[in-house]
Structure 1
Amino acid sequence: MEARPTAVLIADQLRARIIDGSFRLGEQVTEAAIAQQLNVSRGPVREALQRLSQEGLLVSHRNRGVFVLELSPADITEIYVARQAVETAAAREILAAGEPAVGKAVRQLARIIARLPDAVAARDWAKVAELDLRFHTALVAASGNARLSRMFVTLAAESRICMVHVKISYRRFNELVAEHQELVDLLAAADAEGLHQALVRHMETAAADLTASMLETRGTPEAVEPEAVHSEGLQSA
């Protein structure tokens, strides 16, 4: 860490450790332990924990302490419903901006997709998950809407936590490249309604896959169907 660490730097480190699985779901995180590990005072650690609690990655229980978020199937549904809302809104804004915004977004997303086939062929789950979230983060960023991007930061972190802690492999590994390429093609074609529907399908299927894998991990397998989420279609620019 830097000589004079700030609460933001500490929060960044703790966020990364939560996302990569260094902290277990439901594990208690204490000011004293973190301060000792990082060799800092407890003040900025307390502020960092408050920041992560506001982001939803930590949960504070009165008279008990602060704990890493525990995820349930209902949480997965909520995360992906929220992601659907943010990403379809971002897509609308990109299309509304027209060129050169659309072309720039298409090129950025295509560069990320180009790295997916090798990761899929190697069955490199961690790399696929990283590229998947990088793709969707870039999609939201391309909208130019800072508030959508800020909202997506927490959703992306929660999505990554799902992927890391559920420890699944994609159930539709071989379809991933085609699914993401479809999103790029629809964006390039300025097909507003087609892009909206493709994003909805993508989010619903991802949520269903993660939920099914979570239930299997817990020893309670059951069929999970993608949950339909009704929202307004995209409007062409």
Structure 2
Amino acid sequence: MNGLEDDRALLGRTSTAERVAGILRGRIADGYFPPGERLSEEAIGAALKVSRNTLREAFRLLTHERLLVHELNRGVFVRILTVEDVEDIYRTRQLVECAVVRGLGRPPYALDGLRGAVEDGRRAARAEDWAGVGTANIRFHGELVALAGSRRTDELMRSVFAELRLAFHLVDDPHRLHEPYLARNAELLDTLDGGGRAAAEKLLAGYLEDSRLRVVEAYARRLAEGSGASGV
């Protein structure tokens, strides 16, 4: 039909590229590919058994999400955030997360995802897995955003949270960074469970501002030490 048959192959390739991007996004979020690391087309393509074109499309998608950067004649690298990037991430979080809570309807709210994330954080803390506590914290906020019931908002914040993980990976004391938010997540959950939407929004705004100050301080100190900054 009007030559569209010739484009059929693009559908499969794009779908595959999105799946590859999802795998790489998860690996970046988990720290398997840390900030500043160069991604090898040959090694990743061979491991995932995908073509170079598909892999390059996946890289393009992740570059658009600000997780990767392309350096001319050097290759593709996991992005190293600036302090200004971290500040901007928190401005976005304030705008979106507080608006989600403000826009909630009448209680009760669907809080099972938040409860699961709180329990995940507690289990990780008992195991002294502080990176795992950070993962549970990100999940908590993802579940909070999901209360809006908006696929577009979920997709936006998925990228924002993935960027935030890049900052977490360069912080030298994840225990000190993440532990305070175990109790604060539980407090926020309890407030929402009691139907206190306005009180929850106030708690969340203070929570995010405290987190911004803590993360920016730790991240700026780490960058000043030059850790990881030689990759890009």
- Pairwise same-fold verdict (TM > 0.5): yes
How far residue 32 of structure 1 moved from its aligned partner, in angstroms, is: 4.1
Shift of 1:8: 1.8
User: How many angstroms apart in 2 are the aligned matches of 1:38 and 1:211?
Assistant: 36
1:139 maps onto 2:141 in alignment: no
Query: RMSD of the TM alignment (CA)?
Result: 2.5
After superposition, residues 1-237 of structure 1 pair within 5 angstroms as 6-62=16-72, 64-93=74-103, 95-96=104-105, 98-100=106-108, 102=109, 104-105=110-111, 107-171=112-176, 175-218=180-223
Question: TM-score scaled by structure 2?
Answer: 0.79
Contact 1:90 / 1:148 at 8 angstroms: preserved in 2? no
Closer/same/farther in 2, CA of residues 168 and 30 from structure 1, 3 Å limit: same
2:230 corresponding residue in structure 1:
none
- Number of residue pairs matched by the alignment: 212
Deviations 1:4-38 (A, max 9, x none): 99112221222122222222322333544432443
From the superposition, tell whether residues 28 and 121 of structure 1 become closer, same or farther in structure 2 (CA, over 3 Å). closer
Take 2:49 and 2:219, find their aligned partners in 1: how far apart are those partners? Answer: 36
d(CA) in 2 for partners of 1:174, 1:30? 35
The residue identity in structure 2 corresponding to 1:187 is: L
Contact 2:177–2:215 at 8 Å: present in 1 too? no
Question: Given that residues 120 and 173 in structure 1 are in contact (C-alpha distance below 8 angstroms), is that contact kept between their aligned partners in structure 2?
Answer: no
Is 2:21–2:58's contact at 8 Å kept on the other side of the alignment? yes
Determine if contact 1:90/1:145 at 8 Å carries over to the other structure.
no
Separation (CA, whole Å) in 2 of partners of 1:13 and 1:120: 26
Decide which structure has greater helix share: 2
Percentage of identical aligned residues? 34
Q: What letter corresponds to residue 132 of structure 1 in structure 2? A: N
Higher mean Cα deviation, 18-27 or 78-87? 18-27
Kindly report structure 1 stretches of 4+ aligned residues shifted beyond 4 Å.
Answer: none
Q: Answer with 118-127 or 164-173: which moved more.
A: 164-173
Listed as ranges, the gaps of 5+ residues in structure 1 are 221-237
Q: Residues 199 and 38 (structure 1 numbering): CA distance in 2 closer, same or farther, change over 3 Å?
A: same
With 182-191 and 74-83 compared, the bigger mean Cα shift is at: 182-191
Give the structure-1-normalised TM-score. Answer: 0.77
Matched residue, 2:229:
none
Aligned-partner residue type, residue 128 of structure 1: V
Moved more, 211-220 or 64-73: 211-220
How far apart are residue 152 of structure 1 and its match?
0.9
CA distance in 2, matches of 1:31, 1:175: 39
Q: How far did residue 69 of structure 1 move? A: 0.9
Structure 1 residues 118-127 or 143-152, which shifts more? 118-127
